[in-house]
Amino acid sequence: MEQDQGKARRHYTPDQKFKIVKEQMTTKTSVSEICKKYDISPAGFYRWQEQFLKAALNGFKKPDSGPTKAELRKIEELEKKNLRQQAIIADIAGEVIELKKSLGESGLL
């Protein structure tokens, strides 16, 4: 589908899109009239309207307040487990070093 010759495609800022959708909703002007007035396609208008309504819905949602108490307990538990495992690894690494030293001194290595 080709555009009319000499007619450049118009780009609207988010602020302009907001005002156009709001105008249609508050004045109850038909979508076809709004589309003619601003030289936009009905599909484009409905896409903007859908984005507008989704954004409005998100405005009513509770903001993310961070991790829950259960998540914080789980994090603390995992951090403690991690520290215990690191201590075990350090002990084993120390034992390996001691064994290598003793085997090296006895000539087995």
Q: Is 70 left (phi over 0), alpha (psi -120 to 50) or beta?
A: alpha
Q: For residue 24, which of 6, 5, 38 has the smallest C-alpha distance?
A: 38
Give the residue from 57, 31, 59 showing the smallest Cα distance to 46: 31
> Is a pLDDT exceeding 70 seen at residue 7?
no
In a domain, 27, yes or no: yes
Is residue 18 assigned to a domain? yes
Instruction: Please report whether residue 3 resides in a domain.
Output: no
**pTM for the model:** 0.50
Considering the domain architecture, whether residues 48 and 68 belong to the same structural domain is answered as no
Q: What is the pLDDT of residues 59-94, one digit of tens each?
A: 888 777 788 899 999 999 999 999 999 999 999 999
* Model confidence at 4: pLDDT above 90: no
Query: How many CA atoms does the CB half-sphere of 65 hold within 13 Å?
Result: 4
Domain tally for the chain? 2
DSSP 16-79: HHHHHHHHHHHH---HHHHHHHHT--HHHHHHHHHHHHHHHHHHHSPPP----HHHHHHHHHHH
In this structure, the answer to whether residues 88 and 70 fall within a common structural domain is yes
Residue 16 has pLDDT above 50, yes or no: yes
Average pLDDT of 17-44?
A: 95
71 and 107 in a single domain? The answer is yes
Q: Do 18 and 33 have their domain in common?
A: yes
Residue 2 has pLDDT above 50, yes or no: no
**107 DSSP 8-state letter:** T
Domain holding 37, by residue range, is 14-60
Task: Please indicate, yes or no, if residue 1 is contained in any of the structural domains.
Answer: no
Is 99 inside any structural domain? yes
The mean pLDDT of 31-58, rounded to a whole number, is 94
Using the predicted structure, report yes or no on whether residue 3 has a pLDDT greater than 90.
no
Residue 9 lies in a domain: no
- Please check whether residues 22 and 56 belong to one and the same domain: yes
Task: Give pLDDT, residue 60.
Answer: 83
